[in-house]
């Protein structure tokens, strides 16, 4: 058997496991009908009150609490109906060895009448539900997200294994020499990537495009042997997965550099601890070793940064973080309480008030030194 | 030294005219902001117009115009079809403060003191420097008189700048034009528009036409052609009268004997009661009233409280009535539910009063805002000082969560798509201040308002409870009729099994009694099983009927059989506990189909899944 044939065989086996697990859900509902039980599916409750720290993997995963999607309520009944239509569709897609995007799935439901999704977040959630029940990932269902355009840039050589129409091909890319200024775009399935070699000392993940461009323009990557990952706001799964893989495989430390507001802290939390919405994927995606560089509320004071006033929503978000178990550390409690006191927030690009080089020449080296990275 | 100061002071001491007083204290009368001044002016003029029309038995047809003159000034025109004012009185009605017809009458009316309209004239001349123009005509063949006048604030007397006879096409009525500083707002309750709308609700017999500065015309059409019952004047009731008033009445009465004074100058005192009062007070009933000492008067007053005197007559009051409050709310709001109430008359400090309330719910009312509170006193909307009003306090005292409404923090004005209306009608509404925007917290009044509001709130609660049950029922119907069959179909299709019977699950979701009939076909017989399971929470007793064309065989348990039209009706008495299950079995010859569905008797059809109720007419035995 050729390598290619073996790959295809392995893939077929994987698909058949996926099919079995999906059909088991249908079987469960069917059996409930014949056993005169009101059909229902139990799924872990997906709120911050039901996430627990897993000592072993050091990430936050769903706790014991479960919610029922039950035919006792209209919402539950529709949810089950939609599940059954979705599973039927995924089943067919696996049979035909095809795939679709999350957005396409939403549009496909257009023909399902009663079972039609009202908006894409609803179909996205459905896929997440199915991931949780089957303990698989959406890639197993042949469902992929839209490319979200996050990139990496830095001294690392990557090998891509691309499968298209049943054929597998390889490509080797150096993430400075073989890419433009835009960097290497992170594909949706990063498990098809291999790391060939690298000269990096650490990885810096950055929230905004403007700051990423600043670091590249200032040559931060070569000066400090850094791999620069652009998170593009709340990072996609593939970005988080890639960070984790690089951290684990290459033993490179990961630091996260975001704006200084509650929404940005959540970006860090989802990189380091796992997100609430996809806590079932935490062990697969979270990088517990990731460290937060800033902007910290104390930086606002220490570096005398230009600020904006906290909005009411910001204040509520901060208060909510105080009851979020992921932020239940002395560091975060002190910083969040400080920010509530200051009533101010700062963007990462606020450092430009000290000159364009300040962030790469002063702030980041200072912070990286104190974190023990350089 | 001290004498000198007193004399010096005496040189400066002089009488202050009432007009001068109000010139300096205009906020007391509701002229404290430019927005409010405009509203108050319209309000005073319209209140007078409505009073005049009703007193003369004319259905009010009132025109309100507000024109922008320049940056700060507006001209307000209010015209009515009332009886008009006789020529000689025009200057004093508009140009003299505290001149009016209603101050001395114990009777329900909008205006009382004779301050309102002349205060408007005063405010106009102070802020715009222009006189007030008045047109008035008292009858078809009479001439229309036109006046331009101001108030001389030193003397509180009108000053006529122009008077002439003019042509006017109205058969009778009054028109007033005033120019003043003001600010015109619209998008809130405290506005001329809001005032007109509120006035239209409680005066459903009036047609109001409002022409706004933008030129927009809004007609608040009348919904009844019937004028409110004209309230009549009454004598003061002894309960609640004050000592000073009593002494004054005693001194100036024309009656020569105390008993005659009591029976003629007070309401509800007959000869017998008068005697009783005199005995209680220890005063000679034949004494001349003007000879009574202060001490005797005081004893008389105490006797008023101890002797049983019937409550004052309520004929003097003219409530809006439940029906017309409903109509008024209906025409100004698009809602799903209205409840209204008119309480029996009560008394506060000798004055009779009636409280009415209405509540409107749903429709296009905003869902997440604070409830709109429409307060009225003698059919006049109260737009300001909501927080200081007895009506508001009464509403705030209620625990609205008991009435299915949101009440953040558990107290205060409730939240939701609700309008609450309160109306206090009285010969003397006790206001907290002269601008008449808030009713004072007299315990009797607060209690009555609370009772009235609770009354309509109960109506709302019942309505909401019914809606809740309906919504729940509807929700369940959607599940069992639309979603569940589709789900059963889809899962059996994907799982590749036969389609399951969803009836047991329907019964379970509805909390019903399940009647499930199955038949097992053998060579030449079929064995029929009727399964009964009680998914409800209570014990059920009913009769199960199975009609068959032939006699059934080996039934367990045995039914009672009656035959009709060549058919057999097999009847089982069923008594079944919650969650219990029972089975009926029998056999029929195979040529026969298992037969019709079973029927039930003595239980509501909605409580049963899988069997219809026995048609009524067949219950003949």
pLDDT tens column, A115-133: 999 999 999 999 999 999 9
| Per-residue pLDDT at A181 exceeds 60 | yes
What integer pLDDT is reported at residue B441 of this predicted model? Answer: 92
Selected residues 14-33 of chain A with any CB under 8 Å from a CB in chain B = 23, 26-27, 29-30, 33
The C-alpha angle B565, B570, B575, rounded to 5 degrees, equals 145
- Rounded to whole angstroms, how far apart are CA atoms A153 and A145? 22
Q: Do B494 and A77 touch (CB under 8 A)?
A: no
What integer pLDDT is reported at residue B424 of this predicted model? Answer: 95
Q: How high does pLDDT run on average in chain A? A: 91
What integer pLDDT is reported at residue B618 of this predicted model? Answer: 46
The four Cα atoms B583, B585, B591, B593 give a dihedral, to 10 degrees, of -20
- Rounded to whole angstroms, how far apart are CA atoms B575 and A336? 65
The reply to whether A68 touches chain B by the CB within 8 Å rule is no
**Residues forming beta bridges with residue B562, ordered by sequence position:** B569
- Please tell me chain A's helix, strand, coil percentages from 3-state DSSP, rounded to the nearest 5: 50, 20, 30
- Rounded to whole angstroms, how far apart are CA atoms B472 and B480? 12
Question: Which residues of A are less than 8 Å from B511 in CB distance?
Answer: none
- Rounded to whole angstroms, how far apart are CA atoms A84 and B459? 45
Q: Are strands B553-556 and B581-589 parallel, antiparallel or unpaired?
A: antiparallel
Q: Do B494 and A26 touch (CB under 8 A)?
A: yes
What integer pLDDT is reported at residue B620 of this predicted model? Answer: 43
The pTM of this model reads 0.60
Q: Is the dihedral of CA B255, B260, B262, B267 positive or negative?
A: negative
What integer pLDDT is reported at residue B102 of this predicted model? Answer: 56
The reply to whether B579 touches chain A by the CB within 8 Å rule is no
What integer pLDDT is reported at residue B619 of this predicted model? Answer: 44
What integer pLDDT is reported at residue B593 of this predicted model? Answer: 63
What integer pLDDT is reported at residue B159 of this predicted model? Answer: 87
Q: Which residues contact B455 (CB under 8 A, 6 or more apart)?
A: B339, B341, B343, B357
Interface test with B, best of A81, A87, A111, A115 (most B CBs within 10 A): A81
B532: buried, middle or exposed (CB in 10 Å: 19+, 13-18, 0-12)?
buried
Tokens of B328: 């008024």
- Rounded to whole angstroms, how far apart are CA atoms B185 and B166? 34
Instruction: Name residues of chain B where pLDDT drops below 70.
Output: 1-3, 14-19, 23, 97-107, 109, 111-115, 590-595, 615-621
The DSSP letter of residue B605 is: G
Q: Do A88 and B508 touch (CB under 8 A)?
A: no
Among candidates B484, B497, B500 on the partner chain, residue whose Cβ is nearest the Cβ of A77: B484
Please write the tens of the pLDDT for every residue from B353-388: 999 999 999 988 888 888 889 999 998 899 888 889
Q: Do A36 and B505 touch (CB under 8 A)?
A: yes
Residues A16/A22, Cβ–Cβ less than 8 Å: no
Residues B137/B86, Cβ–Cβ less than 8 Å: no
Residue of A nearest to B479 (CA): A74
- Rounded to whole angstroms, how far apart are CA atoms B241 and A174? 101
What integer pLDDT is reported at residue B621 of this predicted model? Answer: 39
**Residues forming beta bridges with residue B351, ordered by sequence position:** B348
Residues A147/B519, Cβ–Cβ less than 8 Å: no
A56: buried, middle or exposed (CB in 10 Å: 19+, 13-18, 0-12)?
exposed
CA–CA distance from A39 to each of A25, A72, A128, A293, B95 (Å)?
11, 8, 20, 49, 82
The reply to whether A107 touches chain B by the CB within 8 Å rule is no
Residue of A nearest to B500 (CA): A34
Residues B262/B269, Cβ–Cβ less than 8 Å: yes
Total Cβ atoms within 10 A of residue B216: 10
Among candidates A23, A73, A81 on the partner chain, residue whose Cβ is nearest the Cβ of B490: A81
């Amino acid at each position: 058997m050729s390598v290619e044939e073996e790959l295809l065989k392995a893939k077929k086996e994987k698909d058949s496991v996926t099919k079995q697990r999906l059909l088991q859900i249908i079987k469960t509902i069917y059996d409930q009908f014949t056993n005169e039980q009101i059909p229902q599916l139990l799924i872990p409750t997906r709120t911050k009150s039901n996430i627990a720290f897993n000592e072993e993997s050091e990430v936050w995963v769903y706790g014991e609490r479960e919610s029922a999607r039950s035919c006792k309520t209209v919402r539950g009944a529709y949810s089950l109906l939609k599940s059954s239509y979705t599973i039927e569709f995924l089943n067919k897609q696996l049979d035909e060895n095809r795939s679709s995007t999350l957005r396409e799935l939403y549009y496909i439901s257009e023909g399902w009448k009663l079972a039609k999704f009202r908006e894409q977040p609803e179909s996205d959630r459905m896929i997440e539900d199915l991931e949780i029940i089957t303990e698989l990932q959406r890639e197993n269902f042949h469902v992929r997200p839209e490319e979200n355009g996050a990139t990496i840039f830095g001294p690392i050589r990557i090998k891509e294994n691309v499968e298209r129409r049943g054929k597998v091909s390889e490509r080797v890319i150096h993430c400075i020499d073989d890419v433009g200024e835009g960097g290497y775009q992170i594909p949706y399935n990063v498990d098809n990537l291999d790391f060939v070699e690298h000269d990096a000392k650490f990885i810096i993940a950055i929230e905004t495009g403007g700051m990423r461009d600043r670091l590249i323009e200032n040559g931060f990557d070569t000066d400090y042997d850094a791999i620069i990952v652009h998170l593009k706001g709340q990072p996609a799964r593939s970005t988080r997965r890639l960070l984790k893989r690089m951290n684990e495989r290459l033993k490179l430390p990961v630091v996260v550099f975001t704006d200084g507001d509650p929404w940005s802290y959540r970006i860090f939390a989802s990189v380091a601890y796992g997100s609430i919405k996809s806590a079932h994927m935490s062990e697969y995606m979270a990088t517990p070793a990731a460290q937060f560089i800033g902007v910290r509320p104390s930086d606002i004071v220490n570096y005398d940064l230009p600020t904006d006033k906290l909005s009411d929503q910001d204040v509520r978000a901060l208060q909510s973080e105080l009851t979020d178990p992921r932020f239940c550390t002395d560091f975060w409690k002190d910083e969040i309480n400080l920010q509530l006191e200051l009533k101010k927030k700062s963007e990462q690009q606020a450092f430009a008030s000290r000159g364009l080089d300040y962030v790469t020449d002063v702030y980041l080296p200072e912070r990286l030194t104190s974190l023990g990275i350089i | 030294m001290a004498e000198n100061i007193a004399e010096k002071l005496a040189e400066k001491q002089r009488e202050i005219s009432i007009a001068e007083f109000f010139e300096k204290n205009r906020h007391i009368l509701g002229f404290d902001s430019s927005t409010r001044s405009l509203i108050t002016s319209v309000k005073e003029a319209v209140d007078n117009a409505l009073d005049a029309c009703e007193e003369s038995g004319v259905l009010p047809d009132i025109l309100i115009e507000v024109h922008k003159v320049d940056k700060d000034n507006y001209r307000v025109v209010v015209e009515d079809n009332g009886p008009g004012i006789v020529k000689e009185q025009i200057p004093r009605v508009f140009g003299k403060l505290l001149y009016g017809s209603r101050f001395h009458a114990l009777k329900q009316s909008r205006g009382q003191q004779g301050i309102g309209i002349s205060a408007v004239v005063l405010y106009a001349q102070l802020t715009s420097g222009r006189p007030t123009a008045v047109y008035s005509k008292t009858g078809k063949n009479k001439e229309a008189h036109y006046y331009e006048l101001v108030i001389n604030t030193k003397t509180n007397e009108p000053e006529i700048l122009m008077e002439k006879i003019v042509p006017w096409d109205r058969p009778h009525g009054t028109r007033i034009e005033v120019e003043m500083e003001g600010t015109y707002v619209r998008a809130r309750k405290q506005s001329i528009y809001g005032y007109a709308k509120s006035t239209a609700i409680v005066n459903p017999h009036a047609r109001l036409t409002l022409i706004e500065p933008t030129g927009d015309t809004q007609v608040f059409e009348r919904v009844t052609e019937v004028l409110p019952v004209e309230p009549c004047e009454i004598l003061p009731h002894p309960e609640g009268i004050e000592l000073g008033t009593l002494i004054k009445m005693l001194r100036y009465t024309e009656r020569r004997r105390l008993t005659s004074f009591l029976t003629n100058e007070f309401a509800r005192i007959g000869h017998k009661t008068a005697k009783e009062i005199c005995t209680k007070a220890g005063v000679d009933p034949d004494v001349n009233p003007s000879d009574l000492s202060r001490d005797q008067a005081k004893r008389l007053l105490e006797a008023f409280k101890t002797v049983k005197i019937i409550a004052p007559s309520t004929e003097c009051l003219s409530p809006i009535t439940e029906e017309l409050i409903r109509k008024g709310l209906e025409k100004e709001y698009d809602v799903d539910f209205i409840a209204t109430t008119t309480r029996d008359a009560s008394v506060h400090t000798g004055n009779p009063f009636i409280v009415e309330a209405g509540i409107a719910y749903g429709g296009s009312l905003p869902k997440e805002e604070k409830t709109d509170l429409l307060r009225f006193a003698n059919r006049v909307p109260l737009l300001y000082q909501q927080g200081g009003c007895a009506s508001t306090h009464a509403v705030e005292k209620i625990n609205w969560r008991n009435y299915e409404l949101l009440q953040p923090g558990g107290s205060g004005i409730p939240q939701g798509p609700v309008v609450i209306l309160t109306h206090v009608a009285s010969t003397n509404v006790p206001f907290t201040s002269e601008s008449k925007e808030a009713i004072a917290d007299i315990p009797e009044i607060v209690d009555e308002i609370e009772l009235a509001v609770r009354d309509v709130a109960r109506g709302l609660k019942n309505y909401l409870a019914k809606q809740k049950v309906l919504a729940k029922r509807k929700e369940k119907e959607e599940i069992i009729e639309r979603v569940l069959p589709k789900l059963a179909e889809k899962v059996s299709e994907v799982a590749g099994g036969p389609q399951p019977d969803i009836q047991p699950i329907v019964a379970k979701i509805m909390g019903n009694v399940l009647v499930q009939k199955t038949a097992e076909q053998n060579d030449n017989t079929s064995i029929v099983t009727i399964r009964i399971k009680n998914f409800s929470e209570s014990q059920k007793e009913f009769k199960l009927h199975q009609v068959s064309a032939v006699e059934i065989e080996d039934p367990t348990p045995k039914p009672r059989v009656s035959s009709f039209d060549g058919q057999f009706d097999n009847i089982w008495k069923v008594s079944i506990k919650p969650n219990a299950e029972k089975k009926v079995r029998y056999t029929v010859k195979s040529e026969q189909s298992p037969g019709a569905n079973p029927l039930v008797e003595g239980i509501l059809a909605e409580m049963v899944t899988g069997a219809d109720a026995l048609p009524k007419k067949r219950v003949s035995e």
